[in-house]
Amino acid sequence: MKGIRNIIFLGIILSLILTNFSFSQEELEGYTYQEEVLMESIENMGAEFIELDIHCSGKFSDEFMTKEEVVCLGKEFVEKLGVEGKLIEEIVEKKDFIQYKVKNRTKDSVNIIVSSYLHKGSNKGETTIFVNPIKREKNSQINDIMKDIQDIFTQYGIKPEITTCIVGGFKGKLNRSDIDKLITQSIKRVNGKIVDNYDEGDLISVTAYTPIFKKKIYSGNEKMNYNLAMRYNEYEEKTYVWIGTPIITISY
C-alpha cells in the first residue's frame, strides 16, 4: 500500500510539472494519433480495453471571478460538450476561492471543474478550467472526443495541457516474466527508451521516451512521454495495465 501511495504522489507531482508546458495547435492535432498508438499498445499486449481517460486543463483568465460567473462558465462547457444524463453539481465558495464541479451519471462520463482564486498577498487572481472525459466503450468516437475538446478550448483562447491514459486488463495474475516481456515489447514497438522504473511487489511502473510523440516532459535532463504501469488486483483477480502520455496522472 505504501508503494501505491508513493506512485500516486509521484503522479500528482509530475502532473504539476506539466503546468510549465503549453502546446501549439499543430501539436494538439497530434493527440488523435497518440490515442490510436496507446490503443494499439493495449491491443498488442492482449489486454481487454477498460477505459480511456483524458485530462485537459488550461487557464481561462488572470482574474478572480464571481460565483455566478464561475457557474455560468461551467454550464457553458457542459452545453458545448453536449454532456448527457443527470448532472451532479457542487459549488465550493470561500473568501478567495470559488469552484464549480459538475459531472454526469452515464457510462461514458465527463467531469468539468472551473476554479477561480486570488493569489495570497495580492489582488491578482486566476481562473482555470479542467475537463475530464472518461470513455468506457471502445469505438470510433474516441478520436472525436479529443477534437471536440480542442475546438472548445480554442474558442475560449485557452492553451490546454493534456494527458491521456488508456486502461486495460487481463484476467487473473500474470507471472513476473510475462509482465516484463509485455512491458519490454510495448516500449520496443514505439521505439522507446526507458528512462526510469519503479518496482514494488505487484506494482511496476516504467517511464520512457519515444520519438513518435511530439509532446514530452522532463525528469531532470531526461525526456519522457510514455508511461506504462501494471498491477495485480487480488480482490478483482485481474491484472491491470495503464499506458499514458506524457505521464499517467490517474491513480493506479
What domains can you pick out in the chain, each with its CATH number? 2-245 (3.30.2030.10)
* Contact in structure between 70 and 98 (CB atoms under 8 Å): yes
Asked whether the predicted pLDDT for residue 238 surpasses 90, the reply is yes
Residue at 40: amino acid letter: E
Residue 151 in grid coordinates: 475546438
Asked whether the predicted pLDDT for residue 22 surpasses 50, the reply is no
- Distance in angstroms (rounded) separating the CA atoms of residues 206 and 32: 23
CB burial of 127-157 (b: ≥16 within 10 Å; e: otherwise) equals: bbbbbbbbbeebeeebeebbebbbebbeeee
Range name among 9-13, 42-46, 52-56, 161-165 with the lowest pLDDT average: 9-13
Cβ contacts of residue 21 below 8 Å, gap of 6+?
161, 215, 217
- Distance in angstroms (rounded) separating the CA atoms of residues 134 and 105: 11
- DSSP letter assigned to residue 65: P
pTM value is 0.81
- The sheet carrying 193-200 orders its strands as 87-94, 97-104, 109-118, 125-135, 48-61, 161-171, 238-245, 226-233, 203-209, 193-200
Contacts 24+ apart (CB under 8 A), 207-214: 207/247, 212/37, 213/30, 213/34, 213/37, 213/245, 213/246, 214/27, 214/30
* pLDDT per position as a tens digit, 103-161: 998 888 899 999 999 988 778 899 999 999 998 887 656 667 777 888 899 999 998 88
* Contact in structure between 130 and 54 (CB atoms under 8 Å): no
Rounded mean pLDDT, 69-97 = 93
* pLDDT per position as a tens digit, 177-226: 999 999 999 999 999 999 999 998 889 999 999 999 888 999 888 999 99
